[in-house]
Amino acid sequence: MKKIIVPVDFSEQSKFAIRAASALAKKHDAEIIALHMLELNQAMLTSSEGFHPEQTVFLIKLAEKRFREFLDRPCLEGLKVTPIIKHYKVFSEVNEVAQENGADLIVMGSHGSDGLKEIFVGSNAERVVRNADIPVIVVKEDLKDFKVERFAFACDFKDDSLPAFEKAKSFAEMMSAELELVYINTPGDDFLSNKDAYERINQFLTKANAGQQVEIYNDYSVEKGILNYSESILADMIGIPTHGRKGLSHFFMGSIGEDIANHSKIPVVTFKIN
């Protein structure tokens, strides 16, 4: 891991993300790229009518000052920190900045069970995840000593989850974490007998050339199953796959993936399938 992107909106949750990212950066000797998106529209930047250019310059300078002050914190001492300010609040730009800088990871803050707010607002959260080609970690609490020793990864063990599984496996190795794989079995049309579930899992692991053990965990919903399983094994982080522009994969239909990120007490990391 060489570079970590941290979107910053000056909220308390941004502080949590910065602190978590700094712990990872120190462990892996990585650079932090702090990204702030300034809400200036095109008219404000170019129009001479109704808005004076000096006001635009003033707002930009004000944001730069506030950004410098925000990044002046003990956890960042000794680390290489590169601040970047974008003049538009376009969340697809997070991935563009990641690509331009060769980043390996995005760390974002979230408000948690009251709903994803600030930089992580509703569909904006999904836009970041959809566009991100690299893993995205969501944190919502102040993690004093952030480390990942036990990493729970859930998927449906179908072929389209293979890329996400490979990324999760690499992520666990990078974090020096124990990878715990789980298949959530739920009642209804998606229910599988143990025999059928293990048959699917074995076929998947054969294609992945992996000899990993997989837990079959029964629960009333995928979301509850992932959260309850992760809690039962004292996991430090939860991993889930996403499906790029199509949004969350069919294993995480609707808002399940977002709900997991929202309701989980521990950090959640997403991996793009395509």
Q: For residue 89, what pLDDT is reported?
A: 62
112 and 35 in a common domain: yes
Q: For residue 116, what pLDDT is reported?
A: 44
pLDDT one-digit tens code per residue, 78-109: 999 999 988 766 666 788 889 999 999 999 88
- Domain region containing 197: 150-272
For the cut 60, the answer to whether the pLDDT of residue 56 exceeds it is yes
Confidence category of residue 122, pLDDT binned at 50, 70, 90: very low
Model pTM? 0.85
In a domain, 98, yes or no: yes
130 and 64 in a common domain: yes
259 and 185 in a common domain: yes
162 and 127 in a common domain: no
98 and 14 in a common domain: yes
Q: For residue 138, what pLDDT is reported?
A: 87
Q: Which of 83, 111, 139 is the last residue of a domain?
A: 139
- The residue assigned the tokens 């729970």 is 152
In a domain, 77, yes or no: yes
In a domain, 46, yes or no: yes
49 and 80 in a common domain: yes
50 and 130 in a common domain: yes
For the cut 70, the answer to whether the pLDDT of residue 153 exceeds it is yes
248 and 157 in a common domain: yes
220 and 97 in a common domain: no
Of 108-117, 207-216, 233-242, the one with minimum mean pLDDT is 108-117
Residue 35 near residue 7 (C-beta atoms within 8 A): yes
Tokens of 17: 């993300």
Average pLDDT taken over every residue of the chain: 83
Tally of CA atoms within 13 A in the half-sphere of 61 that contains its CB: 6
Instruction: In whole angstroms, give the CA distance from residue 132 to residue 93.
Output: 9
How many domains is the chain built from?
A: 2
In a domain, 100, yes or no: yes
Instruction: In whole angstroms, give the CA distance from residue 195 to residue 9.
Output: 49
263 and 160 in a common domain: yes
In a domain, 145, yes or no: no
Q: How far is CA 51 from the centre of its chain?
A: 37
126 and 75 in a common domain: yes
Q: Which of 88, 108, 139 is the last residue of a domain?
A: 139
In a domain, 265, yes or no: yes
234 and 109 in a common domain: no
Confidence category of residue 264, pLDDT binned at 50, 70, 90: confident
In a domain, 144, yes or no: no
In a domain, 231, yes or no: yes
The domain that holds 154 is classified in CATH as: 3.40.50.620
Residue 128 near residue 149 (C-beta atoms within 8 A): no
Return the higher-pLDDT residue of 233 and 41.
233
Residue 217 near residue 182 (C-beta atoms within 8 A): yes
Q: Which of 117, 139, 161 is the last residue of a domain?
A: 139
Q: What is the DSSP letter of 274?
A: -
